[in-house]
Amino acid sequence: MIFETHAHYEDDAFDIDREGLLSSLSKQGIEYVVNVSSSLETVDKTIELMEQYPFIYGAIGIHPDSTKELDEDRFAWLREKAKHPKNVAIGEIGLDYYWDSTERKTQQYWFARQMELARNLQLPMVIHSRDAANDTYGMMKEAKADEIGAIIHCFSYGTTQAKQYLEMGFYLGIGGVVTFANGRKLKEVVAYAPLSQLVLETDCPYLAPTPYRGKRNSSLNLPLVAKEIARIKNVDYETVIRVTRENAIRFYQMDSKDRIDHENKR
C-alpha cells in the first residue's frame, strides 16, 4: 500500500468530485494521505477532511507566501489547531523567494516561530523551500531542526543541498517532477539519496507526472512516481513502495498507540 505524504485535497480543484475520489483511494492501493494546509483558511478545511476520512491525517502550518496573514492572535489560534489528535506535522512552512509575494523578513520570522511550535508540540515539520536554499538551511541549522525532523517537500535543489539535508537526517519528498524529461536534477538527487530517506508525494492538484503533466494531479498517480524511482535506483517497484511507506510511517509517528487504536476502529 502507498503512503501519500503531501496532498491538498481541500483545494477548489477537487470540489467537483472530492468525495468520490477520496472514497476510491483505498481500493486503488493508497493507504494513508497526509493533507497539508498552507493558509489560515485551509487549516479548518484540512481538519474537516481528517475528521471525515479515517485514512487522512493532517499537517497544520502556514506556507511562506501566506505568512503575511499571521499575527500573534492568529498564531495562538494556529497553535491550538495544531494540537488536533490527527495532526501529524507542522507544515507546510519555510521560505519562498521565487514568488516573493510576502516580505522575506516576514517569511523568516514566522518560519522561525513555526519551527519553535513544532519543537514545543513535538511534531516533525514539512518544509517548503523555493529559491531559498541557503537561508532555509541556515535557519534550520540555527533552530537545530535535526532534533525535530523534517521532510523537504517537493525537493527542487541539487545533490549538494540534498547532501546537507540528508546528513541532518531529513527526508526528501519526491513527486511528479522526477518523471519529467527536464527533471534531470531531481533524477540525479534520487540516484544519490538513500531510499531510506525518500518519501512519495504528489502536492496534488499540482505537478502531475508524465504523461499527465499539466492536468490535475491526485494520489492515484503515485505509482508513476514510484516506478520512476525504481528505474533510477535499479530496484523493484514493490521495494520502493514498501520502503517509502516505512519511512513515512516512521516520520509521521503513525505507529504510536493513538494511531494504532484509530486504525483498529476503522
Residue boundaries of the structural domains of the chain? 2-264
pLDDT in tens, 213-241: 999 999 999 999 999 999 999 999 999 99
pLDDT interval class at 264 (50, 70, 90): very low
H-type alpha helices, 83-123? 104-121
Mean pLDDT for 132-154 is 98
Q: What percent of the chain has pLDDT over 90?
A: 94
- pTM of the prediction? 0.95
Cα gap 11→18, rounded to integer Å: 9
pLDDT of residue 262: 46
**258 pLDDT above the threshold of 90:** no
Cα gap 120→147, rounded to integer Å: 12
Cα gap 26→31, rounded to integer Å: 6
**266 pLDDT above the threshold of 50:** no
pLDDT of residue 46: 98
C-alpha cell at 93: 512552512
How many residues are present in the chain? 266
CATH topology of domain 2-264: TIM Barrel (3.20.20)
Up-side HSE of residue 98: CA atoms within 13 Å toward CB? 8
